[in-house]
Structures are given as C-alpha cells and as structure tokens.
Amino acid sequence: MDLEVHPGEAVAVVGPNGAGKTTLLRILGTLLRPDGGRLRLFGLDPWHAPQAVRVRLGMTGHESFLYGGLTVEENLRLFAVLYGVAPERMEELIRDSGLGPRRGEIVRNLSRGWQQRVSLVRALLPRPALLLLDEPFTGLDAEGSDWLRTTLLRHLASGGALVLTTHRPQEVAGLCHRILSLQDGRLVPEAGSSCPPAAPALLGGGRVPGFWTSYRALVMKDLRIESRAREIVLSMGTMALVALVLFSVAVGLDPTVVASAGPGILWTTITFTALLGLGRAYELEQEQRAGWAVLAAPVDRAAILCAKATSTFLWMLLVEVLSLGVFAVLLNVDLSPPRMASLGVVLLLGSAALGLPGTLLSVVAANTRLRQLMLPLLLVPLALPLLIGSVGATAKVLQGLPLGAAGPELRLVAAFAIILGAASLMLFEAVVEDGP
C-alpha cells in the first residue's frame, strides 16, 4: 500500500465492507500501530512524536466518538481543551454548523445526523492539517450534506488535506481529487484524478495541552456525566450494602465474629464495589467510542490514566463515606472522631493505591473475550498485598491504637501505590496503542 497526501488535497478511499478502510483511517489517526511499513505524518514519525502529530489531526469514526451523557457544548468544550483550542474557535464552528439551538442538548438524545454533525465539528476544532473522515456523509440530511461539503471545501482551500472513506463515490464527486479503491490490502486509483491546487501553508490552530489542563478537563468530564446519571455511585453504594450484609451472614451473624472479621469485611466490600466502578468507568469510554477521540487527541497518556483513576477513586471515597455509618452500626464498631480520622487516612490511602493498576487492568480485561469477568481474576490476586496491608491497618485503628501503630501496614500500602502505580503509568501506552 502506497499513499501520499499533499496539503489541499482530498482523497477518497472506496471499497466494500471489510476491505480495511476503517483500519487504514485508524492507522493514519495514530489509533493503531501498523504491523510494518513506513508512516510519516507531516514528516514526523507518529510513534516518536505522537503529540506533535495528533494536534494536527482531526478524525471522525463510524461511531460518534462523543460522550453520550454530556451536552453538545460540554463535549465540544472538552475537546477544545484537549486540543488547546480557544473558545472563540468553538463558538465560530457552532454558529457555522447550525448547532447553536442544540448546544444544551444531551448528545445521547440527538438524532444520528445531528450527532454526526457534532462529531465533525469536534474534528474541525483544531483546524487540522489532515482531516480523516469515516463515511462522513452517512446519516446526514440534504442540509447537513451541503454544510459538510462547504466546510470541507473551505478546509481544502485553506491548505488542509483530507482522507475520507465512502461506499458511494458519486457522493464525493467534485470534492475529492483522487478516488482510490482498497482491494486486497492495496490502493488502486479508480477515477481520473485531477491535480490538487498548489499547497498553501499548513493549518493548525491547536496546541498540545499541559498535563494538568487535560487531567482536570478529563476528571471534570467524568464528574459531570456521573452527576447527571448517578448510576455508578448508586450501583456501587447498593453493592457495598449487599456485600456488607452478605459477609456478615457468611460468618454466621455471631456479633463477636462479625466484629473481629470487620476490617476484612470492610475491605472485601470495598474491593467488590471498586471492581464494579472500574468496569462501568471503562464502559463509559466505550459508549460511542468516546475514549478513542481522547486517545486521538494530543493528550499525555499519563493524564488520561490518572484522570480515570482519580474519578474511580472519588466514587470509591463517596461510597465509603456513605457506607461507613452502615458499617459501624451493622458491625457494632465504635467510630469516635479520632478513630474516624485514622480510619479516613487508611481508607484514603488504600483506595488511592487501587486506582492506577485497577484502571489499567480494567482496560486489559475489557479487551479480552471474557470482558469485565476477567477483571477480578487479574486485579484481586495482584491487589492482595494491598488488601492485607489495609485490613491490618484498619484492624489496628478499630482496636483504638494510634495511626502510628499501623506504620508497617501503611508503608506496605504506600509501596504498593508507588510501585504498581508507576509501572501502570509506564505500561498504559502499550495497552491502548490500538484503541481503548
């Protein structure tokens, strides 16, 4: 396969279903690492300078790549931050695309055609030098198609390049300079190709955002979705209650046994609810493949993993605070303020330590045939040292000992957090290099 695209040039790739059009776009969009061959985008190797390449790419896919639980404006604002784009640019695009009246609507409630339009606006945000569109005309009405055509012509006129896929070559007549057919993994020129106009300067209105900027935007995104849906905390909270009762029943409801098993019961409950939260947090990224858009953006991988771990950690804390009262009553634990404070430190540290490896492994698990069933098999054995430390520290605190007495246990938890957290950050890229 040989393909070279120049500034101001539009290339259409046609071919039957399954020919590999989408795979080609994903490779160009840095979402998939090719098995072999040489790929240069803007003269750069995308695997050596990923962010410099991603900031100049705009991409849409078969799915909308949007967060269904956010409004149109919230989605666009998020990606404006992730691409370092000024809010004025976003406003300009909202105006041009006719999205103005719908900016406050939840994306999940929009029709396919409008979602498609939002998705295209998202891709156009950074004035990309190369626009990659997968079947962009599918689902658009006549007005939408006209808008898209005008927008794409303007993009080409200002020196942007375009690669799109389509089933129907007649759709892109007058727009694309070359039409290539993808057959058996090779690109064959189809229609008589016209020469692209002389290339003006490259576009690019985006900047690579800093770690904290993108981290904050991604955490806020999760908070916003959850504050609207309230499904993660609700299901985790109910699970916590069910687990507390289940384990109390399992030890025979004998008050003294329940009390002595208390720390273990508490942490087993936390583990169960965390598994639930981690699974759901990942599904959120899979819905409409919004996570792909985040991975295609020039965002530090560490910021993505840290943000996801942070929101999971926040759900865990919320559920722990909510269930601590129930825990104290059911297990007959005396929670005086000083004890409460010490227990708070243990819960904070233990839950935080689970965040990064838990998030990493939830991505691994979800991409296997067993899906989230695989997560407990991977995470629980790995987290047992953490649980042993947390249970030990909790037991000491509940016995009324000062926090200092739990030093060895807390050091173990901290060591787990540092070692596995750092390793997770380093290994995350290898996990997501072909999409979430």
Partner 1 sequence: MRRLEVGALVVALFLAWYGSFLYAPTERIMGHLQRIFYVHLSLWGAALLAFFVTFGAGIQYLRAREAYWDELAGASAEIGVLFNGLVLLTGAVWAKPTWGVWWTWEPQLTSTLLTQLVYLGYLVLRAVSEADRARRFAAVVGILAFLNLPLVFLSVRLLRGVHPVVFGQDPAGRPTGLEPAMVHALAMTLFAFVLLYSALVRLRLRVGLLDGAARRLRIELSG
Residues near partner 1 (CB under 8 A) are 357, 360-361, 364, 367-370, 374, 377-378, 380-382, 384-386, 388-389, 392, 408-409, 412, 415-416, 419-420, 423-424, 427, 430-431, 433-434
Nearer of residues 234 and 427 to partner 1, judged by Cβ? 427
Nearer of residues 48 and 369 to partner 1, judged by Cβ? 369
Phi, psi of 30 (to 5 degrees): 60, 25
| Side chain identity, residue 271 | T
Nearer of residues 316 and 386 to partner 1, judged by Cβ? 386
First to last CA, the chain: 26
| Side chain identity, residue 382 | L
Nearest distance, CB of residue 35 and partner 1, angstroms: 9
Nearest distance, CB of residue 374 and partner 1, angstroms: 6
Closest CA to 362 of 288, 311, 418, 416: 311
Residues 6+ apart with CB under 8 A from 253: none
Nearer of residues 237 and 264 to partner 1, judged by Cβ? 264
Nearer of residues 89 and 289 to partner 1, judged by Cβ? 289
Question: Token match 């530090």: residue?
Answer: 300
Question: Token match 């246990």: residue?
Answer: 409
Nearer of residues 328 and 374 to partner 1, judged by Cβ? 374
Dihedral sign for Cα atoms in the order 26, 31, 35, 37: positive
Residues 6+ apart with CB under 8 A from 189: 178, 179, 180, 181
Longest dimension (CA), the chain: 85
Nearest distance, CB of residue 269 and partner 1, angstroms: 20
Specify whether the CB–CB gap between 285 and 294 falls below 8 A.
yes
How would you classify the pairing of strands 178-183 and 57-60? unpaired
Nearest distance, CB of residue 306 and partner 1, angstroms: 17
Nearest distance, CB of residue 195 and partner 1, angstroms: 37
Nearest distance, CB of residue 22 and partner 1, angstroms: 16
Nearest distance, CB of residue 223 and partner 1, angstroms: 28
Nearer of residues 157 and 377 to partner 1, judged by Cβ? 377
Nearer of residues 120 and 420 to partner 1, judged by Cβ? 420
Closest CA to 307 of 269, 355, 346, 249: 355
Residues 6+ apart with CB under 8 A from 116: 60, 64, 136, 138, 139, 140, 144
3-class DSSP state of 179: strand
Phi, psi of 204 (to 5 degrees): 140, 105
Nearer of residues 49 and 377 to partner 1, judged by Cβ? 377
Specify whether the CB–CB gap between 103 and 152 falls below 8 A.
no
Nearest distance, CB of residue 41 and partner 1, angstroms: 20
Question: Token match 């173990």: residue?
Answer: 412
Nearest distance, CB of residue 280 and partner 1, angstroms: 21
Nearest distance, CB of residue 110 and partner 1, angstroms: 32
Nearer of residues 153 and 388 to partner 1, judged by Cβ? 388
| 3-state secondary structure string across 269-338 | HHHHHHHHHHHHHHHHHHHHHHHHHHHHCCCCHHHHHHHHHHHHHHHHHHHHHHHHHHHHHHCCCCCCHH
Nearest distance, CB of residue 51 and partner 1, angstroms: 20
Q: Report the distance separating Cα 63 and Cα 289, nearest Å.
A: 6
The CA-atom distances, in angstroms, between 204 and each of 157, 227, 278 are: 14, 34, 36
Q: Which two tokens stand for residue 281?
A: 């947090």
| Side chain identity, residue 215 | Y
Nearer of residues 215 and 416 to partner 1, judged by Cβ? 416
